[in-house]
Amino acid sequence: MSKEITWSRMNLKEVISELPYPLTQSFFMKANKILFVEQYKRMGYVLPEDIELIKAFYGRPYFNVNIMMKMTNDYGTDPEIIKMTMGGFQPIEKLDKLSFFGQIKMIFTYIKSFILLSNIDKVSKNSFKAISDRYRTDFNRDLRSITDKEAIEYLDSIDELVIKNDLTLIVGGFATYSYRELRKLLKSLNVENPDDIINQLVTGTDNIISANQNLELMRLAGYVKDNGLESLLEEDYDKISDTKFKQMLTEFLHKFGHRGLYEGCVENPRYYENPTSILKIIKDYVKAGMIHPQDVINRQKKIREDATENILKHNGLSYFKKKLFKNHLDSYIHFMALREENRYHYAMTFTLLRRHYLEIGRRFAEKGILEEQHDIFFLLIPEVKKLLSGEKGDFKKVVDERKSERERNSRYHVPDVFVGEFKPEMVKENVRKLKKVFTGYSASSGIVQGRARIIHSPEEFGRFKAGEILVAPTTDPMWSNLFPIAKAVVTEMGGVLSHASIVAREYGTPCVVNVQGIVDALKDGDLIEVDGKSGLVRILTEEIIS
């Protein structure tokens, strides 16, 4: 392994906002030392205690790629697979295979990983239930009545809940393994374009919770359209008069109200805090004609069944390989669903934390220790506990300094990957007009042409129009509200296991991910071709539209 560390934003860029607040950063730094290391231990892989898996540079967290590559190599897998599944532009270091004695040492790890893999259904069911039960119990708790000491104990209890039950690295690792084995088998059959075939094999499964969230919104749009209730979408949530529609919305919020844009950031609001925002999404779906989700489900299911049948009919597929193919396919589909379900439940814990931190911010703003409630998000976890413990400190000064630092960091254009160190004045090279064809990873099949709409952040969602091609730096679950009305999706960062890839496949929206430089290369209105089959994006003309 090289001495200089390669740092990459990889799928961290998908999980959190461009510049997370200090409190969110401290969550990830804590995860670096406890949560992630603990999950590796559960798989039998022990990391050095002083290792830095995640580190922040100019306000942005990065993954230590060297460690991830080494671990992948120790498991006997080509490190390239990490790039394909998790995204990023990090160079792939050629690592020596483990020595004989190294492989002997790994036997315990292999056994422990296999045992965990064999019991993953039971483990995940218990973990998700523990989180869900806690969320349903605590969500309506009166926070004003708890003491500062009880608030500290509660925050610690949520930490313990997450450490025991989060499966982010575990299900991500098993999904990567399943993808590798499925891809290896298809390549052994010499099938044409195995990556596109895999996309077809895993579409329309109807078990991706993030995709089902939008299908529920489509059903709401269908109810509005079928009953001529479009005027309801102009009302505030609290003033909706149609009883059934209000009930459907309430059920949606019960199931998905804890989610929100960049839900891995504790500072960001959730759906339940502003349910009127849901009406805007439904209105867009009605306008775009996205009102019959079953049509989408049936279409993608047929594509999956046809692709599966074609592989099973392949001449080179023996009885043994057929069984192997089915096992790998079922496993990959299962772990993709678990990955999204884990994020769904992880968001519950962040919602509970957000409610408590807002209460802490409120009471200390009232005491004059903080200027305003939301200043709590500019403190780190240990500093919040100092507040609650009654320790003296100039917390207003700390917040002001952090605000200035964040504003300064917001002016920096940082690289998505670098080796060793980098200077903040480094900016992305503007490659516009220098390149016409961009290569990424095939994420969802289909070849379409259309006008590009560059969306940098959720604040720009209102600029997107149905039928345009969504081009974004990356996407998180709430960006998928745009997927059903997008002609295609292109992201600058992401792998085949990224959220954009998984959800786009469910809707049959052509998608290419990990397209380096595409955001700077395009402007709104450029006519482009998205080839979700080959992973290519072509700039056809440069015509600007409003």
Q: pLDDT 10s per residue in the chain (546 long)? A: 447 899 999 888 888 888 999 999 998 888 777 888 888 889 999 887 778 888 999 999 999 999 888 888 888 888 888 889 989 888 887 788 888 888 888 999 999 999 999 999 999 999 999 999 999 999 999 999 999 999 999 999 999 999 999 999 899 999 999 999 999 999 999 998 999 999 999 999 988 998 899 889 999 999 999 999 999 888 888 889 899 999 999 999 999 999 988 888 999 999 999 998 889 889 888 988 877 788 888 999 999 999 999 999 998 889 999 999 999 999 999 999 999 999 999 999 999 999 999 999 999 999 999 999 999 999 999 999 999 999 999 999 999 999 999 999 998 888 899 998 887 764 444 445 567 999 999 999 999 999 999 998 878 888 999 999 999 998 887 788 888 889 999 999 999 999 889 989 998 999 999 999 999 899 999 999 999 999 999 999 865 544
In the chain, what is the greatest distance between 2 CA atoms, to the nearest angstrom? 75
For residues 84 and 77, give the distance between their C-alpha atoms in angstroms, rounded to a whole number. Answer: 12
Query: Where do we find the tokens 């509970």?
Result: 352
Report DSSP letters for 428-483, one per residue: ----TTT-SEEE-EEEE--EEEEEEEE--SGGGGGG--TTSEEEES---GGGGGSG
Q: Do 252 and 202 meet the contact criterion of CB atoms below 8 Å apart?
A: no
Distances, alpha carbon 465 to alpha carbons 505, 522, 525, in Å = 21, 17, 11
Q: Do 489 and 77 meet the contact criterion of CB atoms below 8 Å apart?
A: no
Look at the alpha carbons of 330, 336, 338, 341 in this order and tell me if their dihedral is positive or negative. Answer: negative
Q: 253-256 contacts: CB < 8 A, separation 24 or more?
A: 253/278, 255/213, 255/216, 256/213, 256/216
Q: Domain map of the chain by residue range?
A: 437-541
Hey, what are 149's tokens?
């000491």
Strand segments (E) across 262-404? none
Instruction: Enumerate residues 6+ apart whose C-beta is below 8 A from 404.
Output: none
Instruction: Determine what percent of the chain falls in helix, strand and coil, rounding each to the nearest 5.
Output: 55, 10, 35
Q: Do 202 and 179 meet the contact criterion of CB atoms below 8 Å apart?
A: no
Hey, what are 152's tokens?
């500290």
Nearest residue to 494 (alpha-carbon basis) of 68, 12, 5? 12
- Measured in whole angstroms, the distance separating CA 523 from the mean position of its chain's CA atoms is 25
Q: Give all strands of the β-sheet with 536-541 in edge-to-edge order.
A: 437-439, 536-541, 527-531, 447-454, 469-472, 488-491, 511-513, 441-444
For residues 240 and 231, give the distance between their C-alpha atoms in angstroms, rounded to a whole number. Answer: 10
Please give the model's pTM, rounded to 2 decimal places: 0.91
Angle at 350 between CA 347 and CA 353, to 5 degrees: 155
pLDDT at 206: 85
For residues 205 and 324, give the distance between their C-alpha atoms in angstroms, rounded to a whole number. Answer: 19
pLDDT at 427: 47
For residues 120 and 159, give the distance between their C-alpha atoms in angstroms, rounded to a whole number. Answer: 22
CA atoms within 13 A on the CB side of 366: 7
For residues 179 and 329, give the distance between their C-alpha atoms in angstroms, rounded to a whole number. Answer: 8
pLDDT at 425: 60
Helix (H, G, I), strand (E, B) or coil at 538: strand
Q: Do 536 and 516 meet the contact criterion of CB atoms below 8 Å apart?
A: no
Which residues pair with residue 513 across a beta bridge?
441
- How many Cβ atoms sit within 10 Å of the Cβ of residue 154? 17
For 437-541, give the CATH class. Answer: alpha beta
Distances, alpha carbon 398 to alpha carbons 43, 212, 256, 377, 387, in Å = 40, 42, 35, 11, 12
Indicate the angle between helix axes 499-507 and 209-226, nearest 10 degrees.
Answer: 40
